[in-house]
Amino acid sequence: MNPPDPTTTTTITTTTFSLLCEEDDSSLNEIKFKVSAQHKSEDDQYIQSLIQKESNSSDYCHGPVCDDYNYKKWFKCARLDAVNWIFSTREILGFHFRTAYLSLTYFDRFNSKRPMDNGKEWAIQLLSIACLSLAAKMEEQIVPPLSYFQSQQDYTFENSVIQRMELMVLTTLEWRMCCITPFDYIHHFLSLICDEYDECNEFLVSKAIGLILDFSKEVNLMDHRPSVIAAAAVLLACDDQLKRNTLEFKIGVVSSHHSIEKECIYNCYNLLKEFETKKNNTPDSITYGLSRNHWSHSSNIGTKRKLTYDGFEQNSPIQKISRKL
């Protein structure tokens, strides 16, 4: 066998080198532009599909379930207590913020379909545990035992009771647990609204997330679509001093790309700005004292009450109560 011809080898190497280097900078930039344009088009289509799913959903903007003033006042305080427990437990157990938000979505969806009776704080507490447990199973890689969800509660529920409540939540929500959240829109809306936005800069993303979480603590999440909440939070994160004309122009940028009502975004932006102003002007010590704990009773301070049921129904009497000191 004859050795390879050195001339032939040199020719092959030169040809290969030529093939690798024939693209100039302009060609590479054109390829990058096409890839970027294709990615943006796919992103627009994905976001539009999410907004369409919102529009087809019967969960949002249903109006008040009960117009009774005393009930609305009680439920507002009870919900705030539930919110405080969910977020504090999220921190203790190391859950993601999305998990807490998702549990509040379950909580508000459930109450929009099957509102709790006035004064049944134990039922609100049980619902909070079930919603957070279900959200953790949807979002977290590791979910602790149910006993970990009761460390700061005034009632101690048996695991079987919590599981029955979880099943009630699942059936009431028709097993639709994969919810669209405002977090799904943040990056896309930032790229549309904020000229200074860079995907590598997480400051605006973090700020928008914080605004969304603050909003969730104050407002029933079924009153505003996730896309509207996200747009309002992104606008406020980019600039909290927007004049009406500028604000309307930026809202128009979003609504021109996607079918979101301008007035809804505008109202949500002003509402969120109002919450943030109140938050910034309220000392922490006062904020924490605003919500009376509706899960405790003055005669039972320092105790937990253990509730067990043979079967759980919203209006069923407590069949057995034992105090746990």
* Residue 279: per-residue pLDDT: 86
1 is a domain residue: no
55 is a domain residue: no
Looking at the fold, whether 118 and 263 belong to one and the same domain comes out as: no
235 is a domain residue: yes
Looking at the fold, whether 92 and 173 belong to one and the same domain comes out as: yes
- Residue 160: how many other CB atoms lie within 10 Å: 13
3 is a domain residue: no
24 is a domain residue: no
255 is a domain residue: yes
Residue 223: which CATH number? 1.10.472
Looking at the fold, whether 311 and 170 belong to one and the same domain comes out as: yes
157: domain range? 69-179+299-324
Contact call for residues 121 and 294 (beta carbons, < 8 A): yes
Looking at the fold, whether 154 and 218 belong to one and the same domain comes out as: no
* Residue 65: per-residue pLDDT: 60
Tell me which residues of the chain have a pLDDT lower than 50. Answer: 10, 12-17, 19, 28, 31-35, 37, 285-325
Looking at the fold, whether 166 and 232 belong to one and the same domain comes out as: no
* Residue 240: per-residue pLDDT: 82
Looking at the fold, whether 173 and 304 belong to one and the same domain comes out as: yes
Looking at the fold, whether 161 and 214 belong to one and the same domain comes out as: no
Q: Among residues of the chain, what percentage have pLDDT more than 70?
A: 68
* Residue 291: per-residue pLDDT: 40
33 is a domain residue: no
* Residue 313: per-residue pLDDT: 42
Rounded to the nearest integer, the mean pLDDT of the chain is 76
* Residue 36: per-residue pLDDT: 53
Looking at the fold, whether 88 and 174 belong to one and the same domain comes out as: yes
* Residue 199: per-residue pLDDT: 63
Q: Per the structure, how many domains does the chain have?
A: 2
Looking at the fold, whether 135 and 274 belong to one and the same domain comes out as: no
Residue 174: which CATH number? 1.10.472.10
Looking at the fold, whether 120 and 151 belong to one and the same domain comes out as: yes
What global pTM score does this model have? 0.74
Looking at the fold, whether 110 and 172 belong to one and the same domain comes out as: yes
Looking at the fold, whether 271 and 242 belong to one and the same domain comes out as: yes
200 is a domain residue: yes
